[in-house]
Amino acid sequence: MDQPYLQRKGNFIDKFRHAWRGIAAVWKRDVTFRIELIVAAVVLAGMFVLPLSAVERGSLIIIIALVLTLEMINATFEQFIDYFHPHFSDHVKQIKDTLAGMVFVASLASVLVGLFIFLKPIFRLDEPFYVWLMEQQSGATVSMGRLISFFGSWQFIAALAAFLCVVFFFQKRFDRIMFLAGGLIGGDVIVLSLKYALGRARPPFDGFFTEWSEPAFPSGHAFLAVLFWLLIAHLLHRKEKKMFRFTWLLSLCVAAAVAVSRLTLGAHWLTDVVFGLLFGFVWFWIWIGWFSKLFNRWNRA
């Protein structure tokens, strides 16, 4: 009775429908695939906006298809293994780790290829974008920019984080204190190390803001804003899906507003802010993975 279905008999339209149904199934059950597909959409949009060659665009399309295909294979094999072997096993864990490593290698290669292709045309946009933005600048935009920028400053974030740590201390939620403090301190070390290692100069002073002494790349405000508000969203509503999505969206909106404020103030180049947001988002996910492993080890000890 199942034989015709297993053989996938049908015309081209039927096969096309089956393929889309499979993609939709992976989209529903695998959050990593959703993130990769969103990133792929951003990359595809960027490659047609930026002046890239046909070879560069073709390379990006191939590597996007490779990463998404490997993620679908990974998700399919994991589901297959869980169905036939639902209980924990070291052998199953090794298989899953190997599959995850396969996707990680392809993802890392795709990031490196994307950086090699995108960096040069993106950095070329910095100066014309800055000139255009300074032409739109006014006293009102600077005042609003200073206000919004405050929510990404280390002074505000450190004060609010300290207050939350005190609250968590009285609640005896020491795991939350370690999660929030460790994520922020580790992230701050990373962004300051990048700043002084690369030593990129700030945009030229234009009269509306103050002179800067710290290096520009990446934007510390953008980095801390996306990191801090996502950490808060993750802490507050991990088990409530609707509220979790709302707090995530709110956190990303705050981070985006802080990033835009740094541009309107003339404090950063466009790429400083873009990579500040990107590095903050990446470190957030890395810290979640590291902390969960460290906390599990502490609990077992």
Tell me which residue range forms the domain holding 188.
Answer: 126-300
Residues 135 and 266 reside in one and the same domain:
yes
Residues 137 and 72 reside in one and the same domain:
no
SS3 label, residue 126: helix
Residues 144 and 235 reside in one and the same domain:
yes
* Final residue before a domain boundary, out of 97, 124, 151: 124
pLDDT above 70 for 13: yes
Query: Domain of 51: which CATH number?
Result: 1.10.287.3610
Number of neighbours of residue 171 by Cβ within 10 angstroms: 10
Residues 116 and 152 reside in one and the same domain:
no
Residues 77 and 174 reside in one and the same domain:
no
Count up the domains in the chain and report the number. 2
Residues 185 and 96 reside in one and the same domain:
no
Residues 266 and 142 reside in one and the same domain:
yes
The pLDDT tens digits for 76-130 are 887 777 777 777 677 777 877 787 788 888 888 888 888 788 877 877 877 887 8
* Residue 266 · residue 203 · CB < 8 Å: yes
* Final residue before a domain boundary, out of 124, 159, 182: 124
Which band of pLDDT confidence, cut at 50, 70 and 90, is reported for residue 4?
Answer: low
Residues 276 and 190 reside in one and the same domain:
yes
Residues 66 and 151 reside in one and the same domain:
no
Residues 153 and 143 reside in one and the same domain:
yes
Residues 172 and 138 reside in one and the same domain:
yes
Residue 295 has a pLDDT of 59
250 to each of 226, 238, 245, how far by Cα in Å?
A: 11, 15, 9
The pLDDT tens digits for 204-246 are 765 455 556 677 788 888 888 888 888 887 777 655 566 666 7
SS3 label, residue 8: coil
- What pTM does this model have? 0.66
Number of neighbours of residue 21 by Cβ within 10 angstroms: 9
Q: How many H-runs (helices) and E-runs (strands) does the chain carry?
A: 12, 0
CA separation for the pair 48, 287 (Å, rounded): 33
Residues 115 and 135 reside in one and the same domain:
no
* Final residue before a domain boundary, out of 100, 124, 148: 124
Dihedral sign from CA coordinates of 103, 108, 111, 117: negative
CA separation for the pair 101, 99 (Å, rounded): 5
With a CB cutoff of 8 Å and minimum separation 6, the contacts of 236 are 243, 247
* Residue 217 · residue 194 · CB < 8 Å: yes
